[in-house]
Amino acid sequence: MSQATSIHHDELSNDEIDARIHLSIIDAILDHQLPPGTRLVEAPLCEAFGVTRGTLRRVFVKLAHEGVIDLQPNRGAVIAMHDIKEAREVFEARVIVESGSVKSLAGKRRRLPELREMVKREHALREQGNWGDWIRLSGEFHIKLAEANQNNIVTGYLRTLIARSSLLIGLYETPKRNSCSADEHVAILDAIEQGDGEQAARLMAHHLGEYASELLTEPNQPKEIDFGKLFSPVRSV
């Protein structure tokens, strides 16, 4: 379930309230609690967040602009479905952003013990067969790697791309495949800490490119979502 902080309307500006709702929806996507094709019904969502339809629709416009949802006539907001061409384009964008990011980070020759620990947890979750948590932690690894560069614009853009990647994984991925492996993450960290930017960029490009090339083609069916239960942590109390 989304871990976003509760929204206290008296303490936050409209922009801050919008940002909290936006982050909560993105987090739910990353948690695979809002699969592709899910209709975002306004009434229960407004109740869950404790906001007006106008506030919710502002967030929907932002999510639609980011490609995370589709605004469809007579259906409203729907978590985006993607075809294979779009899937490749999303991962190609990640290659461009993340290869440049790790190359820049390697130039700083920083040690990254927190990310090393994340990789260990990734491996343990995979060995335990804990698929959902492993997928989320893998995405968080990539976000934390971007955050280490201390560029908020890159990190924000990547967070959106990873949310879209999570949609694609929900459509095309199966637990049987050994994609986005912890070993590849270790190799990328090694190159960064050794200051080898070119190698770090090559490894990241291969890592994401290989993942995209192996995506499956059969989408899963959307399921019913209890928005009140899903977003109860962000409702004002």
Q: Confidence band (pLDDT; 50, 70, 90) for 2?
A: very low
Q: Which has the minimum average pLDDT: 5-14, 18-27, 60-69, 70-79?
A: 5-14
Q: Nearest 5°: phi and psi at 101? A: -65, -45
User: 60-82: per-residue pLDDT in tens?
Assistant: 999 998 888 999 988 899 998 87
8 pLDDT more than 80: no
115 pLDDT more than 60: yes
Q: Which has the minimum average pLDDT: 70-74, 148-152, 157-161, 176-180?
A: 176-180
Q: Confidence band (pLDDT; 50, 70, 90) for 7?
A: low
Q: Which has the minimum average pLDDT: 61-75, 87-101, 103-117, 120-134?
A: 120-134
Q: Confidence band (pLDDT; 50, 70, 90) for 196?
A: very high
Q: What integer is the mean pLDDT of 147-162?
A: 91
Q: Which has the minimum average pLDDT: 50-59, 118-127, 186-195?
A: 118-127
Burial profile 196-207: b = 16 or more Cβ within 10 angstroms, e = fewer: bbebbbbbbbeb
Q: Which residues contact 140 (CB under 8 A, 6 or more apart)?
A: 118
Q: What integer is the mean pLDDT of 112-127?
A: 91
